[in-house]
Amino acid sequence: MKTRQVNKFLFDHQISAVGWLYAWAIAITLVLPLVLALVTGTIGEFSFAKQVSDTPLGSLFGVFIFAISMLTYSDFKVLIQNGISRMTFFKSQVIVLLVLTLIGNTINLVYGYLTLPLTGDKNFNIFLTGYNDYFNNPILAGIVNFLFSWLLLVALSMTGLAIGSLLSLFSKRNQRIILIAAPIALFVVLIFMGRTLAPSSRTVSWVADFTKFMIGWRDAKGVQPLTPWPLTVGSVVWAALMAWFSRAMFARKQLKRE
């Protein structure tokens, strides 16, 4: 199989999963409530606009692309058994994730803008909530909104790929143990750090300053307080780091005996 064929195989497999995500999202959040309203005789109280506004399409796609990025072992196994190298698979998977996030981001934004007359929600994503007023030109704001939202999804997908590639080095039993133990350990560490560092105003100030920097907070008076550039650049840097880590993990990846 050539690289282009690997790209097509992974894309065809994973784009179908994305299609099913949107189909189920529409069925569960729009069609099912309508059917229930008809059955129960409460159709007069049914609000299509409310159902549309209550459908977190962008969040659903974010969760789904994270899951897809993590669960790559089955495709890896099939392609490795057909003579594809680890690095070829890794590069193809990254390319496919970039394309999938681009498609998903486009659908999310088009859905948000098309349903705007129904929902009246002008802040349907992170950029519009915090950064839209930074730009005076609506066309420029729209372009940056697209790039900003896409880069966040790319960073999320690369994080999922990194976690999945790390977990794939362990047996299924150990994976379950890690998935259960890691959140508990993280929770305990956060509590310990909170108690230990709480008296230190210097530490609290450092964390607050770093958070303000990452979200683009500016203390200048009379201007929009948030700028999107730090988080945009941070997303690119984080995605690159996660891709580098994933590449290192893929180089050590082995097929498991099942």
Q: Is residue 105 part of a domain?
A: yes
How confident is residue 32, by pLDDT bands cut at 50, 70 and 90? confident
Q: What is the domain count for the chain?
A: 1
Q: Is residue 158 part of a domain?
A: yes
* Domain with 122 in it: 3-250
Q: Is residue 256 part of a domain?
A: no
> pLDDT for 79-133, tens place per residue?
988 888 899 999 999 999 999 999 999 999 998 888 888 777 778 888 888 888 8
pLDDT at 1 > cutoff 70:
no
How confident is residue 256, by pLDDT bands cut at 50, 70 and 90? low
Q: Is residue 255 part of a domain?
A: no
What pLDDT, on a 0 to 100 scale, did the predictor assign at position 197? 55
> pLDDT for 162-180, tens place per residue?
999 998 888 778 877 887 8
Task: Classify each residue of 67-100 as buried b or exposed e, where b means 16 or more C-beta atoms within 10 Å of its C-beta.
Answer: ebbbebbebbbebbeeebebebbbbbbbebbbeb
pLDDT at 230 > cutoff 70:
yes
Whether the pTM exceeds 0.75: the reply is yes
Question: Distance between CA atoms of 253 and 166, rounded to whole angstroms?
Answer: 9
Find out whether 161 and 97 touch, Cβ atoms under 8 Å.
yes
What pLDDT, on a 0 to 100 scale, did the predictor assign at position 210? 78
> pLDDT for 49-79, tens place per residue?
777 777 778 888 999 999 999 988 888 888 9
What pLDDT, on a 0 to 100 scale, did the predictor assign at position 104? 94
Q: Is residue 258 part of a domain?
A: no
Find out whether 54 and 32 touch, Cβ atoms under 8 Å.
no
In the DSSP assignment, the letter for residue 168 is T
Q: Is residue 126 part of a domain?
A: yes
Which amino acid is residue 77, in one-letter code? K
Instruction: Kindly state the average pLDDT of the residues 135-149.
Output: 93
Please tell me the number of Cα atoms within 13 Å of 166 on its side-chain side: 13
Residue appearing with tokens 């960073």 = 155
Q: Is residue 181 part of a domain?
A: yes
Instruction: Kindly state the average pLDDT of the residues 193-202.
Output: 57
Q: Is residue 49 part of a domain?
A: yes
List all residues 6 or more positions away from 93 whose beta carbon is below 8 Å from its beta carbon: 10, 72, 75, 161
